[in-house]
């Protein structure tokens, strides 16, 4: 399938797939966080997406926004810490930018990404270059906007590529935010775990829409 648009049920299935992949990635994400933080990022993400999955499974969505905001609320309430706040805000404020639309198209995805970037940066104050998940998220937004996509599948592929590039770029950066900043130059060479999570989220969404 290379879908021009996704309806609310498709978006729900797509986020259930994201939940499964994040849950399976626990060990990889925890290892990435052991290199830079206290090693609990994978467990937090696993807890968050297990809660999100339970909420999504019982949801009969009328709008695409509902699917994203339900995911965001579940992440925020179950994860805690800085990552719960920013991951939850990504989906909540991204979803809030979609209004009452009953399908997600390429423009909708761009609106979601812009809303998500605004929500996360207003909350935490991180900018691209600070070695945080914002590098992957802003990368996804920029790439999806730059390429004039006709279908949501193309836009998700662009978001996936942009998020991956943004995540890769964090390897060369020195952490200036959060717990990793205590490492200073020792943080060079490792990707930011939050950026890694964001790149996995958009890769899974793109794989779903382009399968």
- Residues that bind another protein in the complex, under the rule CB under 8 A: 34, 38-40, 43-44, 76-86, 89, 123-124, 177-179, 181-182, 184
Is 171 or 181 the residue whose CB approaches another protein more closely? 181
Query: Is the CA virtual torsion 172, 176, 182, 184 positive or negative?
Result: positive
Is 85 or 188 the residue whose CB approaches another protein more closely? 85
Residues 85, 60: Cα–Cα separation, whole Å: 25
Is 41 or 203 the residue whose CB approaches another protein more closely? 41
97: tokens are: 């930018």
Residues 37, 121: Cα–Cα separation, whole Å: 21
23: tokens are: 């849950």
Contact criterion met (CB below 8 Å) for 110 and 143: no
Q: How far is the CB of 50 from another protein (least distance, A)?
A: 13
Q: How far is the CB of 49 from another protein (least distance, A)?
A: 15
Is 99 or 125 the residue whose CB approaches another protein more closely? 125
Is 23 or 147 the residue whose CB approaches another protein more closely? 23
Q: How far is the CB of 141 from another protein (least distance, A)?
A: 20
Q: How far is the CB of 32 from another protein (least distance, A)?
A: 14
**Read out DSSP for 84-149?**
HHHHHHHHHHHHHTTTT-SSB-HHHHHHHHHHHHHHHHHHH---TTSSSHHHHHHHHHHHHHHS--
Q: How far is the CB of 3 from another protein (least distance, A)?
A: 33
Which residue do the tokens 């104050």 mark? 125
Centre a 10 Å sphere on the Cβ of residue 27 and count the other Cβ atoms it contains.
Answer: 11
Is 4 or 80 the residue whose CB approaches another protein more closely? 80
**Read out DSSP for 177-194?**
STGGGGGGGGGTTS--HH
Q: How far is the CB of 39 from another protein (least distance, A)?
A: 6
């Amino acid at each position: 399938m290379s879908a021009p648009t996704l309806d609310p049920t498709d978006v729900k299935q797509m986020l259930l797939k994201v939940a499964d992949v994040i849950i399976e990635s626990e060990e990889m994400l925890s290892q990435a966080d052991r290199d830079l933080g206290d090693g609990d990022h994978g467990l937090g993400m696993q807890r968050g997406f297990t809660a999100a999955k339970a909420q999504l499974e019982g949801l009969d969505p009328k709008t695409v926004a509902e699917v994203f905001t339900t995911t965001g609320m579940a992440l925020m309430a179950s994860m805690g810490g800085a990552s719960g706040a920013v991951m939850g805000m990504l989906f909540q404020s991204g979803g809030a930018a979609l209004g009452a639309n009953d399908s997600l198209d390429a423009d909708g995805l761009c609106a979601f990404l812009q809303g998500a970037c605004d929500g996360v940066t207003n909350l935490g104050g991180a900018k691209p270059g600070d070695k945080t998940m914002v590098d992957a998220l802003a990368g996804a937004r920029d790439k999806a906007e730059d390429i004039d996509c006709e279908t949501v599948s193309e836009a998700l592929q662009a978001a996936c590529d942009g998020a991956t590039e943004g995540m890769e770029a964090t390897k060369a950066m020195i952490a200036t935010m959060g717990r990793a900043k205590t490492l200073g130059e020792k943080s060079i060479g490792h990707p930011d775990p939050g950026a890694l999570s964001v790149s996995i989220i958009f890769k899974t969404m793109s794989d779903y829409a382009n399968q």
